[in-house]
Structure 1
Amino acid sequence: MLMPFCGKPARYVAIIVAVVVAICVAVSQSKAATPYPDAASARFSVSVTGSGPDIILIPGLASSAAVWDGTVVHLKDHYRLHVLNLAGFAGEPAGANATGDVLAPSVAALDAYIKANHLQKPVVIGHSLGGLMTLMLAKAHPEDASRLVIVDALPYVGVIFNPAATVDMLKPTATALRNGMISTPVEVFKSQQSQTAQSMVTSTADQARVLDWSMTSDRRVLAQSFYDDLMIDLRPDLAAITTPATLLYPVSAGQNAEATDAIYRSNYAAKPAMTFIRIDNSRHFIMLDQPEAFYQALDGALK
C-alpha cells in the first residue's frame, strides 16, 4: 500500500493506489513456512498447504501472505498451495530485498523455487503487484506456469498517471516517489496509509489489517518495489506471453462499469488467451470485499 506525496489530493492518490498496490483466518492444517533458498538471501518465504495440483499465490505491495488465508481454506482440499510472503513486506525480514531491485530478482527466485521443487506447471495467482509478477514470470520463463490468474493488475501501472505514459516519461516521478516514501515521517506515513486503506477495502476491520501490513513493511523495500513497478512496462511483450490468463478486476459502487471494462480490456488487448471477469461492488482487495464472488470466479478460472 502507498501514500500520497507532495500534496496530491487523496482522491487522485486513491485512483493510483487502487491499481498499483497491493493484501486472517489462521491456516493450521498441513502448513509449513520455510524461507527460500535461505534466511539470509531469501526473496520470499513460502507456506505450503494442502495436496493436489500446485498453485502459487503472490500477494501485492506491502501485503501479507494472510491476504490469501480465505482462499487457502477454499482451495486446500483440492490443491497444494504455495503462498508467498515477499521479503520486506508485512513484517517479513527484508532479506535479499534490503538492497537493489526487488521485482526482477524475486521473479528469478520464484522460477528457481518452481524448478528446485519440481513443480509441474503450477497455476500462478497474483494480486496487484503480484499480478505483474505473474506476467513477468510467464515472459521470462514460459515453461513454468500452466495458467495465470491476475487479480486487479495492469501490464503497465504508469497508465494510471497518464494513458500515454512511458517508462522514460515517468522515471523522474518514480524516483521522487521512491525518495518520498523513504523519507516521510512515521506519523505522516501512517495517516496517509490509513486514508489509502479506506479507498482499497470496504470493512473497517480489513482496513485495519491492510494498514498494519503496510506499517510493518520495510520502507526501503516498499519504495523500491513501487519504483520497480513503474519501471516495468509489459505492454510490448503481451503478444508473446502465450500462457493462458484470467484477469479478475473490481468495480466499486459509483464507478462506471463499462468504462472500467474498457480500461482493462484495452490494456490487455494484445494478450492472447485472455479471459476477463468483473467483480461488482468491490474495491481493490476483491478477495476480502467479495470473497464468495471471488472464489466462484477463481474456481471457474482453475477449471
Structure 2
Amino acid sequence: MIRTASILASGAAALLLASALPALAQDGHVNHAAHGHAHAAFASNRLHVRVDGPEGAPDLILIPGLSSSPEVWQGAVDHLADRYRVHRIHVQGFAGAPADGNATGPVAAPVAEEIARYIREQGLTKPAVVGHSMGGTMGMMLAARHPDLVGKLMVVDMIPFMGAMFGPPGTTAESVAPVADQVFAAQSTAPRDQYLAQAQAAVTGMIKTEAARPGPLKDVETSDQQVSAAAFRELILTDLRPELGRITAPTEVLYVKFNDPRMTDAITDMIYQASFANLPGARLKRIDGSAHFIMLDQPTAFYSDLDAFLAR
C-alpha cells in the first residue's frame, strides 16, 4: 500500500498538480455571444450558468473541472439534442471569467452551495448532476450536503479525497495540510511562463486525442492563477469520504486508469472501490482507452453511459 500511495503521488497527483497552473485571467466572459447561448437569470459572484434546451424538459446540471469552461460539455449537449434542459456551470475565475467572489479563499465548497441555491431559486426538481474532476467534487458536496436537491449523480474521474495521493496510507486532511500549503505557495507565485509550460504538459497528459486539446488548453491559460491555486489546495484538503453515506441519489462513477506506467487496471479499480466504500450503492465503471477528459477521448462510450445514467 505504501508503494501504491507513492505511485499515486508521483503519477496522478503530479498530473493534477500541473493542470492547476493557469496564466492570467481575461476580463469578461469568453466567446459567449459567439455560441448563441443564454445565461440563467441568477445573480452570483461565484458562478454563472449557461442554459441550453427547451423549457419543461428534464433538468441536467453539468459541472466542469478545475480551470475548465462549459465548452468541455458541448459534445454532450449536442448529443442530448434538446432532450434535456442543460444548465452548465461556469466557475468565476476559470476559463476567462473574472474571479469575483472566488478571488480569495475556498472555491469548491462555496460554489457547491451556490449551485444548491440555484436549484432552489430556479425551481429545479431533483435535477441530474454530472461533474468532471473538481466538478465531481462539487457534485459530491452538493449531493451529500443537500440530498433533497439532487435526483442522481455522476462523478467523472474523481475520488472523494485527493489528498490521499499526496501521502502514505492513513493520510488525513490534517496530515497533508503542510503539503497543500506548499503546493499553493508554489502555484500562486510561479512566473507566467512556468504556468504556460506546465499547462501544455498537463493538457497533453490529460487528453489523448490531440484534436481535442486546444480548447481545454485555452481554458487553463485564461484562468486566474490565484483562484486555481486556491481551488487545488482546497481539493487536497477536502475529504468527502465521511460524507458519502449522506448521499441518497443514485450515483455512478466513471474513471480511467491512473496516468502512470506503474499503475495497473487492478490497482486503479482497488483505489476507486476503497475510495467509495462508504457509498456501497455507487456504480463504478472504468473507461479504457481514455485519459482524464473521458468525454473528449471516448465520447461514444461516455454518451452511452450518460444516456443509461439519465434513463436509469
**TM-score (ref. length: structure 1):** 0.88
Equivalents in 1 of 2:160, 2:257: separation in Å? 18
Q: How many residues align?
A: 287
1:1-303 aligned at under 5 Å gives the runs: 14-16=11-13, 31-34=37-40, 36-37=42-43, 41-51=44-54, 52-162=57-167, 163-251=169-257, 256-303=264-311
Flag the 1:236–1:140 CA change in 2: closer, same or farther, 3 A: same
- 3-state SS of paired residue (2:256): strand
Structure 1, gaps ≥5 residues long: 1-10
Q: CA RMSD in A?
A: 2.2
Equivalents in 1 of 2:257, 2:11: separation in Å? 14
- 3-state SS of paired residue (2:287): strand
How far residue 203 of structure 1 moved from its aligned partner, in angstroms, is: 2.5
How far residue 101 of structure 1 moved from its aligned partner, in angstroms, is: 1.9
AA aligned opposite 1:286: I
- 3-state SS of paired residue (1:57): strand
> What does the per-residue CA deviation read over 1:248-276, in whole Å, with 9 as the maximum and x for residues that have no partner?
11137965222211111111011032011
AA aligned opposite 1:288: L
Structure 2, gaps ≥5 residues long: 1-7, 21-31
Flag the 1:107–1:250 CA change in 2: closer, same or farther, 3 A: same
Flag the 1:157–1:291 CA change in 2: closer, same or farther, 3 A: same
Check the 8 A contact 2:11/2:258 in 1, yes or no.
no
Flag the 1:18–1:192 CA change in 2: closer, same or farther, 3 A: closer
AA aligned opposite 1:15: A
Structure with bigger RCO (C-alpha 8 Å, 6+ apart) = 2
Residue 5 (structure 1) aligns with: none
> What does the per-residue CA deviation read over 1:186-210, in whole Å, with 9 as the maximum and x for residues that have no partner?
1111111111111100123333322
How far residue 90 of structure 1 moved from its aligned partner, in angstroms, is: 0.7
Identity, % of aligned pairs?
39
How far residue 30 of structure 1 moved from its aligned partner, in angstroms, is: 7.8
AA aligned opposite 1:149: M
- 3-state SS of paired residue (2:155): strand
How far residue 19 of structure 1 moved from its aligned partner, in angstroms, is: 5.9
**TM-score (ref. length: structure 2):** 0.86
